[in-house]
């Protein structure tokens, strides 16, 4: 049996339809830097899918560069970005936001989510402190949808956050690296247009949702920072062969493919979860999307040794561990069954 | 009765001896940028006072610029600085360290102090996480001596911190904005040479310890980053009339003046504290230096209204408040007596 | 007749072999961030092709981000990078190097090339000026091979530059965005290993030489800045699906493909040039690589109107213009013939 | 005979009146960071002197930090600052503006001055180049008044520059490190209010015009960037004992002292010049302010050896040199006479 990987949602290449179209259009000649018909079409499709006819859309390559570019473009230096202490910009971007000159203020999160009340309390305390002009000013709220723990914000939670942001005149920025999985789960009570209407900027993740690479930054109401094209270039996030990004998003955003990839992955994640629960495995967190966090016993880990790849998030006493299993558009029901089968008969398999 | 201010330790100008020498030497002609006899003499005195004959010393203007310059000079961008969550760089520098491109990692502090164990635990967890190459690397430990809460590290505590830093090959940098008060208190069990021997860089604060402005950055073992002069210039921290800084430190470091100013302020702070305690006032923190943090009742605050200035650090329920009273080289015993007198007979005075 | 584009060397997708292998390996599961067999193989191939068995190789996405990352990683902030005033970092990167905190010092170039004597003269004058500690220090020499004008440095010219760099203890960094075209031309008197032996860092361009995207940064003697992986991440230049870069370079560097693509483009550029010269067209610069700079008359421009795309570099009086025609691995002899045919009979065609 | 220094205009301490008032007010207690009566009074005096009742005024410590702070505050990162190639920010600030992330575009200057036509030509060429979105955008014009060569812009020259700036919607920023000398010379045909009315930001230099340190940044029409106080702090340019700056400017701006200091220095510079010209000494540049640039012969240099300090700006063949002699508020007619006397009888003195 070959090794299976549930390590992450970018273990495979691109969705076959993406690759097919790349091949079909490969020898066409197009201008660079996004001035090509596929990028133009992708922008139109994104405007339609988000219900934002005046949206300004920019295609970038990866998540970290996108976050640093957008945050730096939207804030003066003395403004900080508020986020969950488990947020990607606070943890796994090597200080990219700080490299751009901005403080990241990490607030306590619950299951990966930042609560509107937490933000409000922070802001009240901040402005109640008479020394606030000597501190980095809170300038933006950053949240991930879904979060780094697979959880999602409800419409009510987003509304509460929007309320706080409006009250303090701060933009709300949503990191949608895994947006497809967040919108497609039955647990979601919000659509893409509803989400777009609630924030000032967000990106639709391509890399983790079926593309080889690429993220689509959306300023939903024509509110892109002036000369954002040049800003993207200065941050090293402008791709010469923009067609590579354009064609991928043009494909993903056509015929509901983006959300259907998300739905597929979410369903297999739910299948994985149900199967594990039936085996008595507990979960660290209640995630309705493509990332699942089972707490594995030593016997489980032994059973998977050399056969299944996954991430260990936290070692626990006694050889147990919080782990992460991610599904993607490429995960098959068969693969999940194999995984469950290995877990269900640890002794036999471990021999 | 005139208003008294205990707001901070930079309410007055400079120690009279400093001003006297500024006047005496005013019409002398000297080269700029630290190439003057007073700066040279100050450097020698600092080498002697720190017991570091090979120390490299640079005079800068203020604390925030000094911290940003030193940290940026000593670390590559991807390295972060670890500090107490109450540390000046984490709170009151408006994101100056981040502006220079570095993440500030604020760890939980006790009474303003960062514990070596806290740092060690952080480092162990950091390197145990297999994703650490994707995170900002811990590159330096920053502590304040005394801390923003007036407390000081014992020799044993510093030794423990040094041990952790050596183990992880990280420099230890000490912010000595109020160094005079920290070294002069009877509670200190460490001398300036002993402190210098335990860290990789520190600064002797002038602004808060008798000068009009100025901080003296010391690299105790000739270990200044290459071309630090140019780095200081690029960070906007190089003063044209370097003699202003040189002469001030030449004066402060002569004949033990620096420490004697610290001792004076610490003694008056102790007097203030004893007096308040006798009036039944509780203290938020046990500080042996020039900053004291009494918890004032409404009647106390009323008694001081319009007569005494101080800082409110935290409003408590029922009109009580954690406050800060700072003494300095300029504080007189008479001023402390007036303060205590106002507090001892609130009703009478408040009429 | 369809429109032909000679606008640039990134008008098409990827070389078919690259695309073929992307398709073949698409469903394989691999770890992200360069921890995959194709990246490992690409690194080995690059080590072999450069004759540098100890080279450290990092795959990044695009040229601007690569330059900013490498320069920032190799220099402290107060060090500037010297380059030709026509150099890419000086002109067309929107200030990306400055965003990373470094001054770009543009020196006069001849036909896109920076002369070693120009650099030496600058350095001598710099250090002869007693105020040099107040200036940004020259810290690195950046050259492009081939240059932005298609020209290449001879071995002797490189040797002279290396000599100056060694003398002043400065690294030499080569931007090889179009390296394939520079090495493959018969005019080149230097090989890749010889070039690698002469510099401290360089990159092999993928984007403009057959890949969809990607550049390969090479530190030829194991001299990568410490933790360069994290530096790349912090600069937003780390691709999640590193396999996309790895597989492309693995393909391009196999069986001499990279150089053979360069040779093809250079040959067609020479054909284009000879053809134009026979039509009496003058050239702005004598380029032996894939970029040609004919000076077109109004009748030529009219003849190409709506049929052939190219870049206008400089409008001249009387409707003439310096233009750029770029060939690539994808250019066909037939396309060049069509172009020449249009030019040879302007009147007829312009009807 | 003691050594005389004409090296620069910051060889002495402060104007005696400044020092006198520092001594008189030394023991007063005031709030920090500019919240003191002297700063408030200084701001009022500056508003009056500039004829800008709504001016926003901020006191900073030194020129380099001021330039970096103002430029960074007024421009987004992708905008560059245009200046004379002899401008202070282009040459003598160690890359401070670039450290803040901005490109400095140095244009050819004549006698230290940037011509409006030069700027206009640059801008026209810039926007005529279709690749301009890939370049750092010109965002501001920076000029020095007087320039680094002692020359001044006429009203007509300023008007022409303003015209270009308005046309391209760019602010005009004036570095007034030596403003007193520029306004006080009979050659000036513009007043401070007229200058203030023509630019968007400027600073009145204190350090080089009678203060120990300090510059006064003026946004003449209430057009300071939002939260500029915090921006100043983040850039390390906020002085704790703001009174030191406030009192100095309060003194300098009272009773016309600032301009009278400028006039004194300009008159002595004119005397120095006339005297040298009578001795047959040529001048490198025609400066009407306190900096003079005589071209000294070897016999002159020998005569001054060990007796007079001055700056050598450029060594010429045959031992000649372009030199700089600066006068200040502290220069005496007697000192100038001694200098001229030494030069007039070189042989005798050199014995």
Tens of pLDDT, residues B300-324: 999 999 999 999 999 999 999 999 9
pLDDT band at C345 (very low <50, low <70, confident <90, very high): confident
Query: Once rounded to an integer, what is the mean pLDDT over residues A89-104?
Result: 96
Tokens of B68: 């940003």
- Alpha carbon distance D219, D234 (integer Å): 19
Could B230 and C72 be called an inter-chain contact, meaning their C-beta atoms sit closer than 8 Å?
Answer: no
Tens of pLDDT, residues D212-229: 999 999 999 999 999 999
Find residue D59's DSSP bridge partners: D216
Query: Once rounded to an integer, what is the mean pLDDT over residues C68-85?
Result: 98
User: Between C and D, how many residue pairs show a Cβ–Cβ distance under 8 A?
Assistant: 58
Quote the minimal CA–CA distance from B72 to chain A in Å: 11
Could A236 and C5 be called an inter-chain contact, meaning their C-beta atoms sit closer than 8 Å?
Answer: no
Residue B187 DSSP class: T
- Is pLDDT above 70 for D350? no
Higher pLDDT, D1 or B223: B223
Mean pLDDT score across all residues of chain D: 96
- Whether CATH 3.40.640.10 fits B16-254: yes
Compare CB distances from D99 to C95, C101, C130 and report the shortest one's residue.
Answer: C101
B8 touches chain D (CB under 8 A): yes
Q: Which residues of B touch D93 (CB under 8 A)?
A: 233-234
pLDDT, position A347: 57
Could C230 and B133 be called an inter-chain contact, meaning their C-beta atoms sit closer than 8 Å?
Answer: yes
CATH T-level fold of A4-10+258-350? 3.90.1150
- Is pLDDT above 70 for D14? yes
Q: 87-126 in B: which are within 8 Å (CB) of D?
A: 93-96, 99
Question: Chain D residue with minimal CA distance to B6?
Answer: D29
Mean pLDDT score across all residues of chain B: 96
Q: Which residues of A touch D134 (CB under 8 A)?
A: 33, 230, 233
- Alpha carbon distance B278, A116 (integer Å): 45
Largest CA distance in chain B: 67
pLDDT, position D121: 98
pLDDT, position C3: 85
Subunits with at least 3 CB pairs below 8 A relative to chain D?
A, B, C
- Is pLDDT above 90 for B73? yes
How many CB atoms lie under 10 A from the CB of residue D226?
12
Q: Of A223, A221, A220, A147, nearest to A179 (Cα)?
A: A147
Q: Which residues of C touch D91 (CB under 8 A)?
A: 135
Quote the minimal CA–CA distance from D77 to chain C in Å: 7
- Is pLDDT above 90 for A306? yes
What is the length of chain C?
351
Could A92 and B134 be called an inter-chain contact, meaning their C-beta atoms sit closer than 8 Å?
Answer: yes
Question: Where does chain B show beta strands of DSSP type E?
Answer: 4-5, 56-60, 79-84, 104-107, 137-144, 172-176, 201-205, 215-219, 282-283, 291-292, 294-296, 308-309, 311-315, 321-326
Tens of pLDDT, residues A156-206: 999 999 999 999 999 999 999 999 999 999 999 999 999 999 999 999 999
Tokens of D1: 């005979």
- Residue of D13, D17, D210 for testing the chain B interface, max B β-carbons within 10 Å: D13
- Is pLDDT above 80 for C350? no
CA C88 to chain centre: 9
Question: Chain B residue with minimal CA distance to C102?
Answer: B234
CB C253 within 8 A of CB C46: yes
Compare CB distances from C98 to D103, D130, D315 and report the shortest one's residue.
Answer: D103
| pTM, to two decimals | 0.96
pLDDT, position B349: 44
User: Which whole-number Å values give the CA distances from A305 to A302, A324, D99, in the listed order?
Assistant: 5, 15, 50
What share of chain C in percent tops pLDDT 90?
97
pLDDT, position D349: 44
Compare CB distances from B230 to C72, C101, C137 and report the shortest one's residue.
Answer: C137
Tokens of B255: 């004949």
- Alpha carbon distance B250, B248 (integer Å): 5
Q: Which residues of A touch C32 (CB under 8 A)?
A: 7-8, 10-11
DSSP letters spanning B123-183? HHHHHHSTTGGGSPEEEEEEEESS-TTS----HHHHHHHHHHHHHTT--EEEEETTHHHHH
Quote the minimal CA–CA distance from A323 to chain C in Å: 16
- Residue of D77, D97, D99, D310 for testing the chain C interface, max C β-carbons within 10 Å: D99
CB D249 within 8 A of CB D211: yes
- Is pLDDT above 80 for B337? yes
Residues 6+ apart with CB under 8 A from D150: D112, D181, D285, D287, D288, D289, D290, D291, D292, D293
Tens of pLDDT, residues D48-84: 999 999 999 999 999 999 999 999 999 999 999 999 9
CB D308 within 8 A of CB D274: no
Classify residue C283 as exposed, middle or buried by CB count within 10 Å of its CB (0-12, 13-18, 19+). middle
- Residue of C7, C78, C91, C98 for testing the chain D interface, max D β-carbons within 10 Å: C98
Quote the minimal CA–CA distance from B47 to chain C in Å: 24
- Is pLDDT above 70 for A13? yes
- Is pLDDT above 90 for D348? no
- Is pLDDT above 70 for A351? no
A253 touches chain C (CB under 8 A): no
Subunits with at least 3 CB pairs below 8 A relative to chain A?
B, C, D
pLDDT, position A346: 60
Subunits with at least 3 CB pairs below 8 A relative to chain B?
A, C, D
Could C103 and D101 be called an inter-chain contact, meaning their C-beta atoms sit closer than 8 Å?
Answer: no
- ipTM for this model: 0.95
D72 touches chain A (CB under 8 A): yes
CB D70 within 8 A of CB D176: no
Compare CB distances from B137 to C78, C137, C227 and report the shortest one's residue.
Answer: C227
Quote the minimal CA–CA distance from C246 to chain A in Å: 12
User: Helix C257-278 and helix C242-252: axis angle, to 10°?
Assistant: 70
Compare CB distances from A26 to C5, C19, C63 and report the shortest one's residue.
Answer: C19
Query: Once rounded to an integer, what is the mean pLDDT over residues B95-101?
Result: 96
Residues 6+ apart with CB under 8 A from A166: none
Could B98 and A130 be called an inter-chain contact, meaning their C-beta atoms sit closer than 8 Å?
Answer: no
Mean pLDDT score across all residues of chain C: 96
pLDDT, position B347: 57
Could B243 and D94 be called an inter-chain contact, meaning their C-beta atoms sit closer than 8 Å?
Answer: no
Q: Which residues of B touch C229 (CB under 8 A)?
A: 133
Classify residue B145 as exposed, middle or buried by CB count within 10 Å of its CB (0-12, 13-18, 19+). buried
What share of chain B in percent tops pLDDT 90?
97
- Whether CATH 3.30.70.60 fits C16-255: no
Residue A303 DSSP class: H
Query: Once rounded to an integer, what is the mean pLDDT over residues D272-282?
Result: 98
CB C150 within 8 A of CB C182: no
pLDDT, position A178: 98
pLDDT, position B351: 41
Subunits with at least 3 CB pairs below 8 A relative to chain C?
A, B, D
Q: Where are the domains of chain A?
A: 4-10+258-350, 16-255
Find residue A308's DSSP bridge partners: A4
- Alpha carbon distance A297, D268 (integer Å): 88
Quote the minimal CA–CA distance from A157 to chain C in Å: 30
Question: Chain B residue with minimal CA distance to D94?
Answer: B234
pLDDT band at A3 (very low <50, low <70, confident <90, very high): confident
Q: Which residues of D touch A73 (CB under 8 A)?
A: 76
pLDDT band at D345 (very low <50, low <70, confident <90, very high): confident
pLDDT, position C347: 57
Quote the minimal CA–CA distance from D140 to chain C in Å: 15
DSSP letters spanning C279-295? TT-EESS---SSEE-EE
User: Which whole-number Å values give the CA distances from A248 to A321, B13, D273, in the listed order?
Assistant: 37, 65, 72
A315 touches chain B (CB under 8 A): yes
How many CB atoms lie under 10 A from the CB of residue A190?
20
pLDDT band at B74 (very low <50, low <70, confident <90, very high): very high
- Give the CA angle between residues B300, B301, B307 to the nearest 5°: 105
How many CB atoms lie under 10 A from the CB of residue C275?
17
Q: Specify the residue for token string 């992330």.
A: D101
Question: Chain C residue with minimal CA distance to A23?
Answer: C19
């Amino acid at each position: 049996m070959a090794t299976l990987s549930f390590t992450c949602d970018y273990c495979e290449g691109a969705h076959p339809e993406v690759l097919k179209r790349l091949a079909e259009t490969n020898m066409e000649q197009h201008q660079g830097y996004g001035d090509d018909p596929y990028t133009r079409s992708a922008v139109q499709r994104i405007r339609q899918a988000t219900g934002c006819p005046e949206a300004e859309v920019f295609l970038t390559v990866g998540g970290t560069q996108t976050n640093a570019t957008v945050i730096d473009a939207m804030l003066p230096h003395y403004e900080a970005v508020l986020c969950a202490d488990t947020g990607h910009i606070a943890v796994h971007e090597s200080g990219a936001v700080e490299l751009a000159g901005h403080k990241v203020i990490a607030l306590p999160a619950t299951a990966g989510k930042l609560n509107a009340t937490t933000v409000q309390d922070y802001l009240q305390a901040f402005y109640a402190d008479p020394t606030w002009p000597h501190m980095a000013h809170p300038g933006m709220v950053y949240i991930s949808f879904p979060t780094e723990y697979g959880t999602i914000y409800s419409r009510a939670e987003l509304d509460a956050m929007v309320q706080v942001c409006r009250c303090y005149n701060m933009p709300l920025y949503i990191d949608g690296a895994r947006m497809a999985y967040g919108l497609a789960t039955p647990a979601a009570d919000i659509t893409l247009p509803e989400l777009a209407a609630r924030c000032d900027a967000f990106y639709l993740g391509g890399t983790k949702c079926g593309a080889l690479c690429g993220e689509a930054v959306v300023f939903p109401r024509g509110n892109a920072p002036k000369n954002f094209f040049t800003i993207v270039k200065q941050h090293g996030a402008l791709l010469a062969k923009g067609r590579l990004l354009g064609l991928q998003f043009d494909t993903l955003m056509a015929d509901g493919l983006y959300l259907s990839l998300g739905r597929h992955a979410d369903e297999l994640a739910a299948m994985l979860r149900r199967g594990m629960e039936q085996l008595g495995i507990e979960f660290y967190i209640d995630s309705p999307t493509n990332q699942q966090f089972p707490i594995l016993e030593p016997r489980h880990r032994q059973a998977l040794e050399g056969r299944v790849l996954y991430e260990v998030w936290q070692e626990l006493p006694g050889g147990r561990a919080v782990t992460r299993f991610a599904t993607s558009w490429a995960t098959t029901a068969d693969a999940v069954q194999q995984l469950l089968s290995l877990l269900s008969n640890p002794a036999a398999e471990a021999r």
